Amino acid sequence: MSPTTDKATMLEIGGREVRVSNPGKVVFPEPGLTKLDLVNYYVAVADGALRGAGGRPMVLKRFVKGIEAEAFFQKRAPEKRPEWIDTATLHYASGNSAEEVVVRDAAALAWVVNLGCIDLNPHPVRAEDLDHPDELRVDLDPMPGVEWAQIVDVAMVTREVLADHGGLVGWPKTSGSRGMHISVRIEPRWDYHDVRLAAETLAREVERRAPGLASARWWKEERGESVFVDFNQNAKDRTVASAYSVRPLPDARVSTPLDWDEVRGSRPELFTVPTVLRRFTERGDAAAGIDEAVGGLDALLRLAEELGPAEKPPKSTDGTGRRTSTMPLIEIARTKTKPEALEALERWKTKHPDVVPLLEPADVLVDGMRGSSSLWYRIRANLQHVPEEQRPAQEALEADYDPWAGRSWNA
What pTM value is reported for the model? 0.83
- Is 285 contained in some domain? no
- Is 373 contained in some domain? yes
Mean pLDDT, the chain, integer: 90
What pLDDT is recorded for position 142? Answer: 93
Q: Is the pLDDT of residue 12 over 90?
A: yes
d(CA 107, CA 84): 9
Q: How does residue 408 score in pLDDT terms, banded at 50, 70 and 90?
A: low
Angle (CA) 250-233-181 rounded to 5° is 55
Q: How does residue 22 score in pLDDT terms, banded at 50, 70 and 90?
A: very high
List the one residue out of 293, 274, 57 whose CA is nearest residue 172. Answer: 293
Q: How does residue 87 score in pLDDT terms, banded at 50, 70 and 90?
A: very high
Mean pLDDT calculated for residue range 202-218: 92
Q: For residue range 292-329, what is the model confidence (pLDDT) as tens digits?
A: 999 999 999 999 999 998 876 555 555 555 566 778 88
- Is 371 contained in some domain? yes
- Is 339 contained in some domain? yes
d(CA 27, CA 63): 9
Total structural domains within the chain: 1
What pLDDT is recorded for position 260? Answer: 96
Instruction: Say if CB 113 and CB 22 are below 8 A apart.
Output: no
Length of the chain in terms of residues written: 411
d(CA 5, CA 34): 9
- Is 384 contained in some domain? yes
Coil, strand or helix at 135: strand
- Is 383 contained in some domain? yes
What pLDDT is recorded for position 348? Answer: 94
- Residue 387's domain comprises 329-400
Instruction: Say if CB 23 and CB 9 are below 8 A apart.
Output: yes
Q: For residue range 128-157, what is the model confidence (pLDDT) as tens digits?
A: 999 999 999 999 999 888 999 999 999 999
Mean pLDDT calculated for residue range 284-289: 96
What pLDDT is recorded for position 372? Answer: 57
d(CA 149, CA 249): 22
Instruction: Say if CB 190 and CB 131 are below 8 A apart.
Output: no
- Within 45-147, residue ranges assigned H as helices are 46-53, 106-114
- Is 313 contained in some domain? no
d(CA 212, CA 222): 11
DSSP β-bridge partners for residue 101:
58, 87
> Strand 329-335 vs strand 399-400: parallel, antiparallel, or unpaired?
parallel
- Is 139 contained in some domain? no
What pLDDT is recorded for position 1? Answer: 38
Mean pLDDT calculated for residue range 392-401: 90
Q: For residue range 191-201, what is the model confidence (pLDDT) as tens digits?
A: 999 999 999 99
